[in-house]
Amino acid sequence: MTAAKYFGEEKLEDAIYAIYLRKVRYVSPSNIELSDDRTLDIKKHGISVDNTDHLQWETIRERIIRAGTLQKLVECLISDDMLMDSRHFNVFFATYRCFATCSNVLELLLQRYVSLEMNSLVIGKAKAATLQCSLRSVIMCWLEMYPEDFNEPSSDFSTLMRLIEFGRIHKISDMRTKARQLRETYKRQVMDGRYLAQIPSMEQYVFNTGYDAPDFDTCVQRANMFDIGKENCVQIAEQLTFWDAELFKELLPQQCQGCVWNKRNKLGPETVYTVRATIDQFNAVVQKVMTSIVLPDCRSDFRAKIIAKWIDVARVYLNINIGLVP
């Protein structure tokens, strides 16, 4: 498929579209039906009809929504071919938190589903069924890819309850089952310590590796020792890289958006808990470096050796992380 060429914008009352032109293979129409007048004219003048079309390429016009009202953006999640638009899906659900809430978007999707059911005789049962199937796919993909959007303990998971009830009324078993599973999972997390319990901590990792509780304090003391005479820069850098990787695997990209981060004080710090975990880890490492350098009664030559070792650790750490970048 050839690359699309940007042509311009199309502005409507409720949306702005980007227009692209794409060159594609031309498909010749088969079994062309001629009108009665055209058939009589051909017979009268003895004109031969050649249905062979020698056109090889044609230019088609693609329209991609760039901005619009919330209702229009939700409507465009289903493309003109009545299937889920995966490109618009990824963009919309990665950014909609800037201007809408989970419940607003869900209500628009469910309202459209109901309207298709009510107007199936007007638009055709087959078309309505296809569109409803695509809407179910959108909701299921949303539940799979962004389940944390439905984690609303302050409202007793009202959005998930809405989905469960909707699935029961309209007999959508997969949606109902998925929503119920998410609700049970989040309710257990609330009882076990809420969001931060999902992020692994160093203590959890140490215990999971098989250390006994009585030996834990000894292990921590041994880990806190920073021997400048020991050539273990690679080991320290690998440990830092390992822990950063564990945190970044849990990081939710949507929590990195400025609109979400700026609302952390209003909505609560738990709305950005994965970002907080990475920041806390960074601050802990910085504090460790600072406290190891600014020691009381520390000679200048000894402090210089500590700084030199941290520089060596940082250099190895950088090389390891550069090697991990694809």
What's the confidence (pLDDT) of residue 132?
A: 92
The whole-angstrom distance between residue 79's C-alpha and the CA centroid of its chain comes to 20
Split at pLDDT 50, 70, 90, the class of 69 is: very high
| One-letter identity of residue 106 | L
Please indicate whether residue 105 or residue 54 has the higher confidence score (pLDDT): 105
| 99 & 164 share domain | yes
| 263 & 281 share domain | yes
3-state SS string for 244-294: HHHHHHHCCHHHHCHHHHCCHHHHCHHHHHHHHHHHHHHHHHHHHHHHHHC
Q: What percent of the chain has pLDDT over 90?
A: 25
Split at pLDDT 50, 70, 90, the class of 232 is: confident
| 309 & 229 share domain | yes
Domain extent for 279: 202-324
Residue 247 lies in a domain: yes
Q: CA–CA separation, 180 vs 206, rounded Å? A: 33
Residue 18 lies in a domain: yes
- Contact criterion met (CB below 8 Å) for 47 and 77: no
Residue 96 lies in a domain: yes
Q: CA–CA separation, 72 vs 64, rounded Å? A: 12
φ, ψ dihedrals at 266, nearest 5°: -80, -45
| 105 & 175 share domain | yes
| 102 & 175 share domain | yes
Q: Indicate the pTM of the whole model.
A: 0.68
What's the confidence (pLDDT) of residue 253?
A: 82
307 φψ region: left (φ > 0), alpha (ψ -120 to 50), beta (else)? alpha
| 75 & 185 share domain | yes
What's the confidence (pLDDT) of residue 195?
A: 52
Average pLDDT over residues 80-108: 90
